[in-house]
Structure 1
């Protein structure tokens, strides 16, 4: 594997995205591209983001569509259609990546597997402090995060511990729970095989779980990324969950139909 395509989803929060991009710009492994998947930010915020992108030491693209509510699956499909890498790594634009994040995911990559990493949540007050002071969390040592945990500024410290779990990473090959696109890696061919995100999932909720379930139905196995490749997730208010119940019911239907693999309305519509 050579090039990794990092898909970064964002919406009207350039201050958080700058922290995210700073952590990507500082990666030890630079064999990747960045594709900003903007789910409808305002023109003013678009301008801020595009100006910051000019600092990137790696290839970077900016993909945007109009604001029609939460359509993260749709904008991610559009971003993948513009990608050049053979391996995809999805993160959110309010996530900060340790400097070895790309390198660790590259080590975990394996044919026939998808890799969900985990996350460390920041408190609301500490998130504000990080943004106001532009704290470079990706450069901080483990002892710094131990101190944060004692102050209850983060929810855990265990995610930073790197363990050589070997075969234990594949003990739950069909587990779909807690595999989220704030930290999820998979082969692009596998993504295309299931036709990407199903855009029938509009509004917040379960579009990432649906993707993972269809990957499992297609024979792609889970390889655990915990204790290897965490992200730091800034605190934010919950999205509008008015369509959560509808999306969850659609998800339950997918679980029952193991022959359902390809999204009805997915990434294929954006491919040449």
Structure 2
């Protein structure tokens, strides 16, 4: 089974090189690494190491002139050769050389379509390797009482226990390519520094009956590098609040329920815009943040009626 590992990257030069080097050490026979480079220029001090990692024939290097992580992921899928798509962030460390193999093992079951792996913090690295972790936790029993939306938002992807659950993350998540294409991939209406496209994807897949599981065996360490990527707290990342907040509103309008409306409004819209720490510390920024959030609401209403947007054709 061929695995396509997809890594979009923006302004994370050394972290990306380190991530690629970890992938190149993987003990799995059939995989490719697709990097979508959204950087105009690379620092001179990285050029030698970059040239070295790019010598690997398993590496496919794509470029995107205008940074847009959702378009980048969809573009990578268009170029992929694998039966399974494995999405990871560009600021992760992968110490386990069986990381890809552990993801692939889940897809032996033809009924499994989506797998989320464990996202460890640097201070919560697994001490021992195990072949199978039993589903025996009060936490898992509680999760089963949650709605699919609540599972998506609240499931702890650093859990030690495997389970069937409605969750997915592009930091460490694998999906059958056929399932991904069946819903047209990621919705490109989630643009700019917009989070939630992976949550939107899993909820659309769940509505069609695709099975998703969490497995802690394919684990990695999420370094959460403060610069680059989608970090809205990085002042060098230019944020268009109309584009960014459109995705936040779209998620709320598409998937929100009565009981979850205020939670989504505060946590998924306002905390990431008006109440974002960097904006509270610089109150003059609200002069364009607040109008952007309001304009984004009306834009999201229009996009909701139009449906998902993607350059990927939906399978019949």
| TM-score after normalising by structure 1 | 0.73
Deviation above 3 Å: which 4+ runs of structure 1?
A: 45-50, 157-163, 165-175, 241-246
In the alignment, the residues of structure 1 paired with residue 184 and residue 127 of structure 2 have an alpha-carbon distance, to the nearest angstrom, of 31
1:239 to 231, 237, 241: 231
Task: State yes or no: 1:215 paired with 2:205.
Answer: yes
Aligned residue for 2:81? 84
RMSD over aligned Cα, in angstroms? 3.2
The C-alpha deviation readout for 1:73-128, integer Å capped at 9, x for no partner, is 11000000000111110001111222110110011223342111121223xxxxxx
Gaps of 5+ in 1: 123-153
Shift of 1:59: 1.7
Matched residue SS, 2:175? strand
Matched residue SS, 1:23? helix
The C-alpha deviation readout for 1:193-242, integer Å capped at 9, x for no partner, is 1101101001221111111111111211221122x111112232261274
Shift of 1:15: 0.7
Aligned residue for 1:105? 103
Describe the shift of the 1:24–1:234 C-alpha distance in structure 2 as closer, same or farther (beyond 3 A).
same
Contact in 2 for aligned 1:119/1:159 (Cα 8 Å): no
Describe the shift of the 1:82–1:269 C-alpha distance in structure 2 as closer, same or farther (beyond 3 A).
same
In the alignment, the residues of structure 1 paired with residue 6 and residue 174 of structure 2 have an alpha-carbon distance, to the nearest angstrom, of 10
In the alignment, the residues of structure 1 paired with residue 311 and residue 98 of structure 2 have an alpha-carbon distance, to the nearest angstrom, of 30
Task: State yes or no: 1:176 paired with 2:152.
Answer: yes
Shift of 1:159: 8.3
Describe the shift of the 1:45–1:21 C-alpha distance in structure 2 as closer, same or farther (beyond 3 A).
same
Contact in 2 for aligned 1:206/1:251 (Cα 8 Å): yes
Contact in 2 for aligned 1:195/1:263 (Cα 8 Å): no
Gaps of 5+ in 2: 156-167, 233-238, 258-303
Matched residue SS, 1:157? coil
Matched residue SS, 1:119? strand
Aligned residue for 2:12? 13
Contact in 1 for aligned 2:114/2:173 (Cα 8 Å): yes
Describe the shift of the 1:264–1:245 C-alpha distance in structure 2 as closer, same or farther (beyond 3 A).
closer
2:215 to 225, 246, 259: 225
How many residues are matched? 230
